[in-house]
Amino acid sequence: MLERLETAAKRISSVILRQDYVEVVAHIDADGISSAAIASGALDNAGIEHTVTFLKQIDEEALESLKRRDNFIWFVDLGSGIYNELGNTNFVISDHHVPASTDPDRQLNPHLFGIDGSREMSGAGATYLVARSMNEANTALEPLAVVGAVGDMQDNEECMLTGANREFLDGVDVTRDIRYFGRESRPVYKLLQHASDPVIPGVSGFESTSIKFLKSLDIELKNDGWRRWIDLTFDEKKRIVSEIVKILIRRGFGAKRAMRVVGDVYLLRGEERGSPLHDAKEFATLLNACGRHDAPEVGVAVCLGDRDIYYKKAQNLLSEHRSAIANGMEVVKGIGIEQMQHIVFFDSDDKIDERIVGIVAGMVLEANGINKPIIAFAKMRGKDMLKVSARANHELVERGVDLSDALNTAAKLVGGLGGGHRMAAGASVPRDKKEEFLKLVDEEIARQTGSSLL
């Protein structure tokens, strides 16, 4: 399968190399920014003039604008869903979302080759294959394929990257370690306070309980500053992980869920230990911060090596991002979560930015131990539409939940657009169709699971 993918990548790269000018069109999340950086780096190496345009989604207005372009377009981490609607547009696509067309002539998509694009190859992975076919020197961009895959949560299901993603690990160091976010940059108590997937009962959620937990294990919290996970000894790490697993088992999480505490961690060689760029998960979060706060180009610059002006801007955006998410969690606490038979939902109106409502939804799902898919609404800026973000956990997906299919089906029936992945999907729907949309999604989830979520 990979050989066939590489053959297709060569065909698409040859088309790109014949261009004098290319417009790269990318999604704004970590995978999209990683993909854009790979494409931009490859075009730089080929001496091809180019620009990068970022889109939150390709709605009707964006589609019409793209169709009016006279220039050549390279879609990365999006585009597969509109393949049949691009008409005479001069384009190629490197994407991993479910394609609307099986025509391989102008698109590199793992789904067309029997590879699951939701967990075995990201948009950055597909784009990297094209870039590598353009010039062997582009192998230096390979770590960004890992950042994109981790940013797309493709390591979540098995607690490691699987399938074709394993082909992109030459540029990173892989180690088994705790999977919680913040190993490199957060104090240990903060890492545990914000732990999710799985949440640690009685520890996560509060600074005081995480500190008390560490003290009960005789873990020194400070040594010339707050100690991070990477500052701990092997014995200290072992004590903490063992106790977390014991707590989870005692609370009935089951061995399978408890074992999710540890998994593969991907470290980028050449990046400073302790920086947000050393760990692929933290790197991806930095890129998400850039994209969700209207500065994806800052993330591209960081991906391509800027460690001065743009890196400082990215760190400031990350700080803003964390504050916005914390505020979003407080909003949900205030407005509450509403229950339906097969889903739960909240409507934040304009209290949570549409760009981060999906991240908040995922954190709410984990923090509250919810065993149904969660649907989150936010008001779209400048439009009489609602941004919809949906999240599900691994157990729900194993029971048949496919949020991409559910949101796509429901959104189309109310005059909107939807898509994404099984565990995480999004849509845009008319504001006056919210109740109808929710009912349709509830029915779709019931159909997918055989009503087993009742």
Sign of CA dihedral 186, 295, 386, 27: negative
User: What is the pLDDT at residue 393?
Assistant: 86
CA distance 19 to 15: 7
Residue range 336-449 forms a domain whose CATH class is: alpha beta
Closest to 77 (Cα-Cα) out of 30, 41, 120, 35: 35
CA distance 422 to 317: 29
Cβ(390)–Cβ(362) below 8 Å: no
**Predicted confidence band of residue 371 (pLDDT cuts 50, 70, 90):** confident
Task: Using the predicted structure, report yes or no on whether residue 369 has a pLDDT greater than 80.
Answer: no
Report the CATH number of the 2-168 domain.
Answer: 3.90.1640.30
CA distance 311 to 297: 11
Q: Where are the domains of the chain?
A: 2-168, 176-324, 336-449
Q: 282-338 pLDDT, tens per residue?
A: 999 999 999 999 999 999 999 999 999 999 999 999 999 889 988 999 999 999 999
Task: Using the predicted structure, report yes or no on whether residue 253 has a pLDDT greater than 90.
Answer: no
Cβ(264)–Cβ(161) below 8 Å: yes
Whole-prediction pTM value? 0.88
Task: Using the predicted structure, report yes or no on whether residue 133 has a pLDDT greater than 90.
Answer: yes
CA distance 198 to 262: 10
The letter for the amino acid at 36 is A
Q: Average model confidence (pLDDT) for the chain?
A: 93
User: What is the pLDDT at residue 224?
Assistant: 87
**Predicted confidence band of residue 454 (pLDDT cuts 50, 70, 90):** low
Q: 25-64 pLDDT, tens per residue?
A: 999 999 999 999 999 999 999 999 999 999 988 878 888 9
